């Protein structure tokens, strides 16, 4: 195997916004699988906001990527060579191979993807981690009831789009927040949200209030920042706030107290709010439920999704930097290799 392979390594911990120079693309020889190993070729690399956390060494639920290490990430990969009886050449697997064209694996943590469920890219999208984040956070923490109002930001993105559509399936009013008129139009017209508000609109708070005439019962928190400022006064008694991300803050270099802070706990008490952080793996036991429900909804056209693809591993750093700014329109993917080698 003298083919050439590529990987993207982290060369410095970003301060504030990541820059292209925080990453380096390295060429190397395609590795050879040892005993019990498989060689994986990356087809799709998923880019997700949580990766910003892996680039810093502050306290978190996961270890940071070491300096000089390959950036972490979920991939859809093909088994191209195998010394592991559990895997055959041509198997398509979900892997955490990271930002690279090839990777070795001992098979642990690989999950075979059933191509009959949909395009294999959905295994890192609507039928993968982002979809399951939406499903478990909304249903297991948010628990929307028919007639309640659910608000979610980044509503055209991988998680937000699923949150609003599942909320509608459960009979709730779904209000999205998205960046710009095009995304808002898509959220309302294509995804069927009841309303969508542009977070760039200086009248965000008033527009959101108008879009939620009966207040907010579930706020699915994935952004923080100005959106939460607008949401906070609209929360109803017994509102639930699943917190899975704070993308507006990932590049913060200094933490400052948000406007809602002084009255936060008083509101928690008087409104009987529930605020709960989670990551998708906390709900691993719900995976089968998720896959059954979500693949059904996608098949029936009740949950739509949109992919935003950049071409080639080299595009990953710029695409990731753009993702943190909302430059993507739909689930951010990097096409690293063809479906079939």
Which lies closer to a copy of itself via its Cβ, residue 86 or residue 277?
277
Q: Please state, in angstroms and rounded to a whole number, the distance separating the CA atoms of residues 336 and 316.
A: 9
CB of 143 to a copy of itself, least distance (A): 13
Among 83, 117, 278, 314, binds a copy of itself (CB under 8 A): 278
Query: Is the C-alpha dihedral spanning 329, 330, 332, 336 positive or negative?
Result: negative
318: which 2 tokens?
């710029």
Beta pairing, strands 216-220 & 38-46: unpaired
Task: For the segment 55-114, give every residue that binds a copy of itself (CB under 8 A).
Answer: 59-61
DSSP structure string for 87-133: --TT-EEEE---SBSEEEE-STT-EE--GGGS-GGGGGTTTSHHHHH
| 243 near a copy of itself, rule: CB under 8 A | yes
Which lies closer to a copy of itself via its Cβ, residue 1 or residue 261?
261
Among 30, 268, 291, 309, binds a copy of itself (CB under 8 A): 268
* Beta bridge pairs of residue 152: 176, 220
Q: Are the CB atoms for 239 and 219 separated by under 8 Å?
A: yes
Which lies closer to a copy of itself via its Cβ, residue 9 or residue 177?
177
| 262 near a copy of itself, rule: CB under 8 A | yes
Among 146, 269, 285, 288, binds a copy of itself (CB under 8 A): 269
List, in order, residues 6 or more apart from 58 with CB less than 8 Å away: none
| 226 near a copy of itself, rule: CB under 8 A | no
| 258 near a copy of itself, rule: CB under 8 A | yes
Contacting residues toward a copy of itself, per CB under 8 A: 53, 59-61, 221, 224, 228, 237, 243-246, 249, 255-258, 261-279, 282
């Amino acid at each position: 195997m003298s083919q050439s392979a590529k990987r993207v390594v982290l060369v410095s911990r970003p301060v504030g916004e990541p820059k292209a120079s925080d990453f380096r693309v390295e060429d190397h020889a395609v590795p050879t699988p040892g005993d019990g190993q498989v060689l994986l070729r990356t087809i799709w690399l998923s880019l997700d906001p949580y990766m910003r956390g892996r680039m810093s060494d502050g306290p978190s639920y996961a270890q940071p990527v070491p300096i000089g290490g390959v950036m972490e990430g979920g991939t859809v990969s093909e088994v191209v060579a195998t010394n592991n009886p559990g895997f055959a050449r041509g198997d398509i697997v979900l892997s955490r191979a990271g930002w690279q064209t090839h990777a070795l694996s001992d098979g642990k943590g690989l999950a075979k993807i059933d191509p009959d469920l949909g395009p294999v890219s959905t295994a890192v999208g609507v039928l993968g981690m982002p979809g399951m984040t939406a499903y478990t956070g909304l249903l297991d923490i948010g628990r929307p009831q028919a007639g309640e109002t659910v608000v979610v930001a980044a509503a055209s993105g991988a998680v937000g789009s699923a949150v609003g559509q599942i909320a509608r399936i459960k009979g709730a009013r779904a209000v999205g927040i998205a960046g710009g008129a095009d995304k808002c139009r898509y959220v309302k017209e294509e995804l069927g949200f009841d309303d969508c508000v542009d977070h760039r609109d200086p009248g965000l708070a008033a527009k959101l209030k108008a879009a939620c005439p009966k207040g907010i019962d579930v706020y699915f928190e994935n952004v923080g920042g100005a959106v939460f400022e607008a949401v906070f006064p609209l929360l109803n008694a017994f509102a639930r706030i699943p917190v899975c991300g704070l993308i507006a803050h990932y590049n913060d270099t200094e933490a400052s107290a948000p406007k809602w802070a002084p009255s936060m706990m008083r509101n928690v008490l008087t409104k009987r709010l529930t605020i709960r952080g989670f990551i998708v793996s906390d709900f691993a036991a719900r995976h089968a439920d998720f896959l059954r429900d979500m693949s059904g909804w996608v098949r029936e056209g009740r949950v739509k999704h949109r992919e935003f693809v950049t071409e080639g591993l080299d595009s990953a750093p710029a695409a990731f930097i753009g993702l943190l700014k909302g430059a993507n329109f739909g689930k951010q993917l990097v096409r690293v290799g063809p479906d079939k080698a």
